[in-house]
Chain A
Amino acid sequence: MSESTQLGSQLVDLCSVLLLLSCFAIVAQRRLSACVDLFALQSFFLATTAALVAFLTGHRHIYLAAALTVVIKVIVLPRILRKVIERLNVSRELVMNINIPAGLLICGGLVVVAFFITQPIIPLGYLLTRDSLALALAIILIGLFTMIARKKAVTQMVGFLVMENGVFLGTTAAAYGMPLIVELGVFFDVLVAGLIAGIYTHRLQDAFDSVDTSELTVLKE
């Protein structure tokens, strides 16, 4: 391996690890607005990773994906979520299904699981971005965990977006980006999902006087 590739590979790894770390920060955070800020920060790391991969490999279309990440996930979606929080006047996640230390421990376990699952397929990957696939899966699992462990509609949305970030890191890491039409479609879907969730939390607030999803108990067996 040439020296520049090695350096590049380490930089990509560094960025991916920062993504993972911001996941842990989201899990450890009680304040909703801080969760949203952390998500924006994570998306910024993601865009940096993508741009880095684009620079090191010369795949130009990844630059486009990085730019779209900045516009949609760093600027637009966090702004929508902040507006929702402001309008609904909820700032803290008072009750969680699982307390923070236990949650962090579980997330640590999830990272181990992710590395374990991807072990047999990692050697197939490009040298540059090998370890990112395992990290991507870890981020997806932590996002999933956040959606289960948190009760507020806004944090569930953040959990979903974190999962999406994980998948995107996987795309960049595993295959240097998907075909352009697919990537554009995915961005469109994520944006619309964010908008819909924004409108939806508003309606939930009107109907239930709360965005605590544990209040959603009208439907039972």
Chain B
Amino acid sequence: MWPVIVLLAGPVLAGLLSLVIHRARLLHAVNFATMLGLAVAETFLTKRVLAEGSVTTLGSLVYVDALSDFILIIITAIGLSCSLYMWSYMDEQVARGVIAPKHLGVFFFLFHMFLFAMVAATMANSLGVQWVAVEGTTLATTFLIAFFRRKESLEAGWKYLILCSVGIALALFGVVLTYYSSVRVLGDASSALNVTDLIGVADRLDPNVLKLAFLFILVGYGTKVGLVPMHTWLPDAYTEAPAPVAAMLAGVLETVAVYTVLRSKALVDQALPPQFTGNLLLTFGFVSFVVASLFILLQHNYKRLFAYSSIEHMGLAMLGFGVGGLVGTFGGLFHLLNHALAKALAFFAAGNIHRRYDSLEIENVRGLARSQPITAVATLAAGFALVGLPPFSPFVSELLVVSALSAQNFASDTMHVGRFVAVTVSDEMRSLGLVGVFLFFGVVLFGGMMARIGAMVWGTPQDGITRGERWTVGHVPVLAMIAALVGLSVMIPESLRTLVTRAVHVIVVR
């Protein structure tokens, strides 16, 4: 009970407190203490979820099972690292005069509202409350993206607000349709959107309505995930957002958006054969993966490079969920965690580079290894992790997804990606063909990504670039994340594995 209250009330209190505090040091301390509190509360909550299976509380407004708890772990872990990173990052922005000291409090207020909305979206029992919270994330982050108030960031913020609002309005229609089908079964109850109530009766819901509902929800929340072709806001927003905000957007917000899709999938799969949602996710995932890996070849801006890599990784996770089964879903979930760690690391590094080189262009950044050795290591580690090289954990999850993909028998006769790839051959050949195409684009991506990261890390720094990197508190999360990425590739802690396995069983219903 109390961990749930801490997780929900913590960010709200910290946000309000940030508005009245004016000293920067105190603001950071409040921020860090809150994040630490959230992490501790989350640890206790995980223990309870592991012991009891699920927690329903606050008048059944809150429902936490293995799946949502796993997402909460990602939120709190990345949030905690961000709070440390922001300590040095934001102070430097204030010292440089990029933002006025009095705006620092507003920044933290918005940041905590963003955090609160994400926690609420993950914990909400009702699909409607979940929608309200997801829209809340859009509203809170619009000003965060445009926080530096440059022309470009204002443009990116507006694009984000409009596109995500449209997406989210479509998702709301999906939620309404879900309600439309459930009221018929559950009666005119105020709980007819609650996951706890829906789970029991989902197989009796009308399949036609659910089909339409899932389409709207996938397109709507898919806009927030950044699936192609609804992704156009994403590169701009990630490029213009301050580095810690970009880390939260890429690492956490996308994960929460995927979670909302998974919740609906778990529901719809009970009333329809899993091929329906599976094929949709496969199609979107595959298209996102391919398009993003091609766009990565064109990038000359390192933050945009990482943004497109986000689209690619979300596509990959969607492939895992689309193939489904125990292996694919486990791979997809594990990939969400790995991607969050790697992408947050990448944006932390990008923030360090930007502050030193004052440019986002890759060609203006040379000799990172000499000017900023720690950041150079972080950039390389993030790059290796993002292209899926061992010994980093994304390698493991990508391997799981690819294995599931190649073992999959596309036996259904509805639409699927396999048909576009290899038309007349047998099912085995078809899935192998799909894997072949997948691996080809994996190689394309590898080349595009490593060439650019190599260009930044090696060489001699331009004149006028200070050499050497002073140790700050912002380096702590960077090193911790590298350690976590390497550690998770060697072994997954027992409790985490149990949790993810149970989360898999939440999604795979048959």
Chain A residues proximal to chain B, CB less than 8 Å:
59, 117-118, 120-121, 124-125, 133, 136-137, 140, 143-144, 147, 153, 156, 160, 163-164, 166-167, 170-171, 174-176, 178-182, 185-186, 188-189, 192-193, 196-197, 200, 203-204, 207-208, 213, 216, 218-219, 221
Contact = CB atoms under 8 A, between A and B. Distances in A.
A174 B179 contact: yes
Given A121-B212, A140-B170, A182-B126, 8 more contacts: A160-B162, A170-B173, A178-B179, A179-B126, A179-B128, A179-B192, A181-B129, A197-B161
Interface of B: 61, 126, 128-129, 131-132, 135-136, 138-139, 142-143, 146, 149-152, 154-159, 161-162, 165-166, 169-170, 172-173, 176-177, 179-181, 183-184, 188, 190-193, 206, 208-209, 212, 236, 239-240, 295, 298
B223 to A, nearest CB: 12
Contacts of B181: 124
Contacts of B158: 153, 200, 204, 213, 216
Contacts of A166: 173
Chain B: interface secondary structure?
helix
B291 to A, nearest CB: 12
Contacts of A203: 146, 149, 154
B400 to A, nearest CB: 33
A147 B162 CA distance: 9
B142 A200 contact: yes
B173 A137 contact: yes
A136 B170 CA distance: 12
A24 B169 CA distance: 20
A118 B211 CA distance: 11
A105 B483 CA distance: 59
A144 B180 contact: no
B224 to A, nearest CB: 14
Given A196-B142, A203-B146, A208-B151, A117 B212 contact: yes
A167 B155 CA distance: 27
A188 B117 CA distance: 13
Nearest to A61: B190
A99 B154 CA distance: 28
Contacts of A219: 152, 155-156, 159, 236, 239-240
A170 B166 contact: no
A149 to B, nearest CB: 13
B505 to A, nearest CB: 28
A120 B208 contact: yes
Nearest to B120: A185
Contact of A160 (B166, B239, B298): B166
A107 to B, nearest CB: 17
Contacts of B131: 182, 185-186
B180 A124 contact: yes
B156 to A, nearest CB: 6
Contacts of B154: 200, 203-204, 207-208
What does DSSP make chain A's interface, helix, strand, loop or mixed? helix
B191 to A, nearest CB: 7
A185 B132 contact: yes
A10 B191 CA distance: 30
Residue of B131, B152, B158, B179 ringed by the most chain A CB atoms within 10 A = B158
Contact of A167 (B152, B173, B298): B173
B205 to A, nearest CB: 10
Ranked 8 nearest A-B pairs via Cβ: A182-B128, A185-B132, A174-B180, A179-B190, A216-B155, A189-B135, A163-B169, A219-B236
Given A170-B176, A178-B176, A163 B166 contact: yes
B162 to A, nearest CB: 6
B176 A171 contact: yes
Given A153-B158, A193-B139, A180 B180 contact: no
A178 B128 contact: yes
B139 A140 contact: no
Contacts of B177: 121, 170, 174
Contacts of B126: 179, 181-182
A200 B173 contact: no
B169 A160 contact: yes
Nearest to B154: A207
Contacts of B165: 160, 193
A217 to B, nearest CB: 8
A203 B151 CA distance: 9
B212 A180 contact: no
Nearest to B210: A121
22 contacts: A59-B188, A117-B212, A124-B180, A140-B173, A143-B169, A147-B166, A160-B166, A170-B173, A175-B176, A178-B128, A181-B126, A181-B129, A185-B128, A186-B131, A186-B132, A192-B139, A193-B139, A197-B161, A200-B157, A204-B154, A216-B155, A216-B158
Nearest to A172: B176
Contacts of A121: 177, 180, 206, 208-209, 212
A163 B135 CA distance: 14
Given A121-B212, A174-B177, A181 B128 contact: yes
Contacts of B208: 120-121
